[in-house]
Amino acid sequence: MKHGISIIVSVLLSLISATLMSQNFIYVNQIGYPTTATKQALVTNLTEKTFFVKDAVSHNDVMKGTVSTGKFWRESNETISWADFTSLKKPGKYFIKIGKDKSETFEIRENGKIYDDLLTATVKGFYFWRSGMDILPEYATWKGINYARKAGHIDSTVYLHASLTSAKRPADTELNSHGGWYDAGEYAKYTTNAAITVHTLLTSYITEHKQYDTLSFNIPESNNSTPDLLDEVMYELRWMLTMQDPNDGGVYNKVTPLKFPSFLMPADDKADRYMIGKTIDCAYNFAATMALASRVYDGNKDYPDFSEKAKNAALYAYKFASKHSEYRPFVNPPDCNTGTYDSESVDDERFWASCELLILTGDKKYAENINLFQIFNVPYWGDVATLGLISLMLNRDAISEALDVNAVEKRFKALADNLLAMYKYQTGKVPLREFVWGSNGQIANSGMILALGKKVMKADKYTEAAQYCLDYILGCNCTGYCFVTGFGSLSPHYIHDRRCATDGIEEPIPGYMVGGPNVKQTTDCGRSMYPTNRFAARAYLDEECSYSTNEPAINWNAPLVFLTAFIRGEYK
């Protein structure tokens, strides 16, 4: 009998796989495309060459085309082709059909407004990340669902960890570290990750202020005269200031409990929290971000003292870091298991802080630590030099006496061109070297570099590749997921996020981009749970246990905000 069942099962399985084998998988940007944008669909397992774009309501054909010749992509273990329907410019709702197979429905809309909701939700995600305050219903309702919650982690009393004991601050010294955003799907606050996130958002403001100056994100500060994005970032900046030790200018790495909390709502997590770590990469990260913030909030009437305070804090932290020539990456004390953000080298942090302080103060001494003869990479928390390069690019006039502006431009162009070449010539088109932890964040950061290429060098050639980065995130990828909660027809539902898992609300908080495919770490749910744990581009799992692929984090949402605002602004 048992044998009979296994035969039936194996016949069924081969029928299913035969069906899958003859099925085209057609992946699109599930939100859609502005009328004049490049529009493409990713097709895997191609069996027929002709594609039709059909009106979603009438099912009439509106366009017929031929898909590109299939090429094998090692990263997904599939044969990949592209259906280009850029010439379709008529606003409407459509789907693509090849043989019997259909894509998800998508929209073509007149201009960048197609991404209005996405921009609002991705910025609003930061409000939902605020620690230490009630999240109020009047700001927390999205599409009829109310995500309000009680404050947790007030952090007006956190304890200095015993590993940091000094004469002026003995172990267990009580410190106030109120405010700031949670880092991710857990409730800790880390300086390193805060710094890159804030820098990305402020740079988005600088380059797209014409948009942000008139946008309201409905947050508690919406009625003041400061653009909402800057109000939201201020919630983090004020907390960051609490991370500096007033006795020496050094900056603590994190405020966390000793162990990651179990799945409970913020207000129910009562574990003691500690100030842990004080490494010089943090001091430089902090100095860089505070220096940029000092420029951005200079003259701001709602935060009149902030610019000066931020400048002094930046100078103090830089001085602290400069005094310590020997660098040792952060290591958790034995009694703690929370995140580390342990940067391998401090050269990139020093470079970044030096760029920002040169721009802020005009003091040429900072140029001594700015080596332009190095390779710049897509930024992430562990490699931040490019953040400095971006600021140099945006302030070429101000630095022209201290640095070789030509070299700055050359380095930036080399990076943007490299990403453009990856988009053009790699089978999978995605400008990414490796599907690492947070691959979606890396792709959004690549999109940010390409966007800056267009903005700063006025070169149109980068826009198409930046658009594809957004298309990828919104569904035009080999998993078929639109990776932002609440958007598209198939999006992450069971994200690794303590609030979403325990708030009793079916739908996750909207506007969160999850980390995405990551082939290296599959032990969180167990290897066998992953649909494929060998093929990087598909190594994604929409399950709560999958912190390595399905957790949102502030440093990934920030470049998505950047990219979305850029694309929205490109199509007037």
Residues that bind ligand 9MR (CB under 6 A): 183-184, 186, 339, 341, 437-438, 547, 551, 553
How many other C-beta atoms lie within 10 A of the C-beta of residue 134? 15
Closer to ligand 9MR by CB, 43 or 196: give it.
196
CB atoms within 10 A of CB 366: 22
CB of 120 to ligand 9MR, least distance (A): 24
Structure tokens at 147: 């995500």
DSSP 387-423: HHHHHHHHTHHHHTTTS-HHHHHHHHHHHHHHHHHHH
Closest CB 256 distance from ligand 9MR, rounded Å: 9
Closer to ligand 9MR by CB, 186 or 208: give it. 186
Considering beta carbons, is residue 178 or 254 the nearer one to ligand 9MR?
254
Q: Would you list the DSSP string of 304-363?
A: TTHHHHHHHHHHHHHHHHHH--S-------TT--S-----S-SHHHHHHHHHHHHHHH--
Residue 422 burial (C-beta neighbours within 10 Å; 0-12, 13-18, 19+) = middle
Measured CA to CA in angstroms, residue 452 lies from 94, 139, 349, 444 at distances of 31, 32, 21, 12
Q: Are 474 and 483 in contact (CB under 8 A)?
A: yes
Residue at shortest CB range from ligand 9MR: 339
* Phi (first) and psi of residue 63, to 5 degrees: -160, 145
| CA–CA dist 420, 429 (Å, integer) | 9
Shortest gap between Cβ of 127 and ligand 9MR (angstroms)? Answer: 19
Beta-bridge partners for 190: 254
Nearer to ligand 9MR, 109 or 498 (CB): 498
Cβ closer to ligand 9MR: 94 or 437?
437
Q: How far is the CB of 547 from ligand 9MR (least distance, A)?
A: 6
- Separation of alpha carbons 243 and 251, rounded Å: 5
Shortest Å, Cβ 555 to ligand 9MR: 7
Q: Does residue 564 contact residue 211 with C-beta atoms inside 8 Å?
A: no
Tell the smallest beta-carbon distance from residue 188 to ligand 9MR (Å).
6
Q: Min. distance of Cβ 37 from ligand 9MR in angstroms?
A: 30
Q: Are 152 and 267 in contact (CB under 8 A)?
A: yes
Any residues with CB less than 8 A from the CB of 560 and at least 6 apart, and which?
Answer: 122, 440, 441, 444, 473, 484, 513
Separation of alpha carbons 316 and 311, rounded Å: 9
Polymer length of the chain: 572
Choose between 438 and 569: whose C-beta lies nearer to ligand 9MR. 438
**CB 87 to ligand 9MR: min, Å:** 40
CB of 178 to ligand 9MR, least distance (A): 20
- Looking at the Cβ atoms of 231 and 497, the one nearer to ligand 9MR is 497
Nearer Cβ to ligand 9MR (496/568): 496
- State which residue, 85 or 190, has the beta carbon closest to ligand 9MR: 190
